[in-house]
Structure 1
Amino acid sequence: MLAALLVSFGVIFVAELGDKSQLMAMTYALRYRWWIVLLAITVATTAVHAVSVFFGHFLGLSLPTALMSVLAGIAMLVFGLWTLRGDSLTESESSKATRVGASVFFAVMSAFFLAELGDKTMLATITLSTNHNWLGVWIGSTVGMVAADALAIAVGALLGKHLPERSIAIGASILFFGFAAWLMYEGLADATAVPIVATISAVVVIVGLGVWLIRRNRRSESGAQAVEADETTDDSSRPIAR
């Protein structure tokens, strides 16, 4: 078991260096609290590698990675639009901050779960589990991936302290859109016309809905700022009581 753990740790850790998963982790850390991102990645990685070990060791099968890659790309697209829209809270919504944390956790966990189902680290875990102790492979591969992504999260957290919030949001959105294109290309590289058309249609609908929500959010913010400015002007014009 120890040998399987060490081998799988080394293989997955090296495979993650420079991988899109590590870049995704750094991007999330630019935008959200690092411990939420790391916890979500740990849960997603544990689940994905459990699936990998099950299929590799007990069934000797593989998952439809092309479909998973397309779904992960769509998830990245949605998260990019969400990030571009912004997550700022009004004063009346400050009591709901814990809900925002929960939504970020589940969004990051879902995105990583889908992205890793079609990633080379999953295929490596399946391969390792066919010839090594399954428990050692599960633990070693999970720890190896979390360790590699933790390095990226540390870099992202340090960068986030020196960049304006709006610049972080725009940069993170661009990276998410890049991940989306990357994942969908991987999933559709050998696909027929039907899944390609279906994916393009879904992307058009999601982008259209996202643009509409972003514009509505901008109009709401502009209206709120105008009202606040009017109230400030009215208060300043009132005579001071003596």
Structure 2
Amino acid sequence: MDLAVLAIAFGAIFLVELPDKTFVATLVLSTRYRPLAVWVGVGLAFLAQTLLACTVGGLVTLLPHRLVEIAAGLIFAVGAVLLLREAPKADASEAATEEEYAAKAGTSRSGLAAVGASFLVLFAAEWGDLSQLLTLSLVGRYHDPVSVFVGAWTALLTVSGLAVVAGRVLLRYLRLSTIHYVGAAVCLLLAAITAYQVVAA
């Protein structure tokens, strides 16, 4: 396992996922169900989606290396654009996102029912999400699915844990728009590094 790749995957996915709707969704779920049950359900949903992204990313590495590098760089650049575009309205849309996931959560549940409900809500919400695409791109970029998987899944577990334990406090002191801008900067940096290596090769 490459600790540098793990750290890059963790940092990139953490910064992209922190301002994402899934943070708010996990926060809302933890007000309806037991927080530990929510974290387990959400963690299992992230496990399945990270495994899928890393598997597809591993298959992508079978393509010509230069093509994979170009595609990864484009995904990083598109991710930066999406985060920049959403940043100005992120703070305003937070309340609407909370209402949306409160409706999806339904009535209070406990035990395995809470785990299952949390899994289903997050599993449905995350398909084609930016963090999933970035995970795929990181595998294609570094050819190390295990390190990327550990870094990405750990980042997702950390973000969901923060949402469950201190989500309301974090939202009071951290503006989602600011986190969007930081995430966009990370994506731009990854895109620039990838572009440089494609040109220099």
Compute the TM-score of the two structures, normalised by the length of structure 1: 0.49
Residue 112 of structure 1: which of 131, 149, 153 is its match?
Answer: 131
| Aligned-pair CA distance for 1:141 | 5.1
Q: Where in structure 2 are the equivalents of 1:35-54 lying within 5 Å?
A: 35=38, 38=43, 41-54=46-59
| Aligned-pair CA distance for 1:47 | 3.1
Check if 1:98 corresponds to 2:104: yes
Query: Matched residues in 2 for 1:94 and 1:112: separation?
Result: 21
Check if 1:21 corresponds to 2:13: yes
| Aligned-pair CA distance for 1:43 | 4.7
Query: Matched residues in 2 for 1:127 and 1:181: separation?
Result: 23
Q: Where in structure 2 are the equivalents of 1:30-109 lying within 5 Å?
A: 30-33=23-26, 35=38, 38=43, 41-56=46-61, 58-59=62-63, 61=65, 62-63=68-69, 64-88=71-95, 97-98=103-104, 105-106=125-126, 109=128
Partner residue of 2:158? 151
SS at match of 1:51: helix
Asked if structure 1 preserves the Cα contact closer than 8 Å seen for 2:47 and 2:153, the reply is yes
Instruction: Count matched residues.
Output: 163
Asked if structure 2 preserves the Cα contact closer than 8 Å seen for 1:77 and 1:180, the reply is yes
Query: Matched residues in 1 for 2:101 and 2:13: separation?
Result: 33
SS at match of 2:169: coil
Tell me the alpha carbon deviations over residues 68-108 of structure 1, each in whole angstroms, 9 at most, x when there is no partner: 1111112223443442222435xxx8798229x6799248x
Indicate the percent of aligned positions where both proteins have the same amino acid.
14
Query: Matched residues in 1 for 2:86 and 2:74: separation?
Result: 19
Asked if structure 1 preserves the Cα contact closer than 8 Å seen for 2:73 and 2:192, the reply is yes
| Aligned-pair CA distance for 1:142 | 3.2
Q: Identify which of structures 1 and 2 has the higher relative contact order when contacts are C-alpha pairs closer than 8 Å and 6+ apart.
A: 2
Partner residue of 1:177? 181
SS at match of 2:95: coil
Unaligned runs of 5+ in 2: 28-37, 106-120, 196-201
* RMSD between superposed Cα atoms in Å: 4.2
CA radius of gyration, larger in = 1
| Aligned-pair CA distance for 1:112 | 0.6
Q: Where in structure 2 are the equivalents of 1:224-239 lying within 5 Å?
A: none
Tell me the alpha carbon deviations over residues 100-144 of structure 1, each in whole angstroms, 9 at most, x when there is no partner: x6799248x51112333443x5433x256xxxxxxxx5xx75355
Asked if structure 1 preserves the Cα contact closer than 8 Å seen for 2:88 and 2:177, the reply is yes
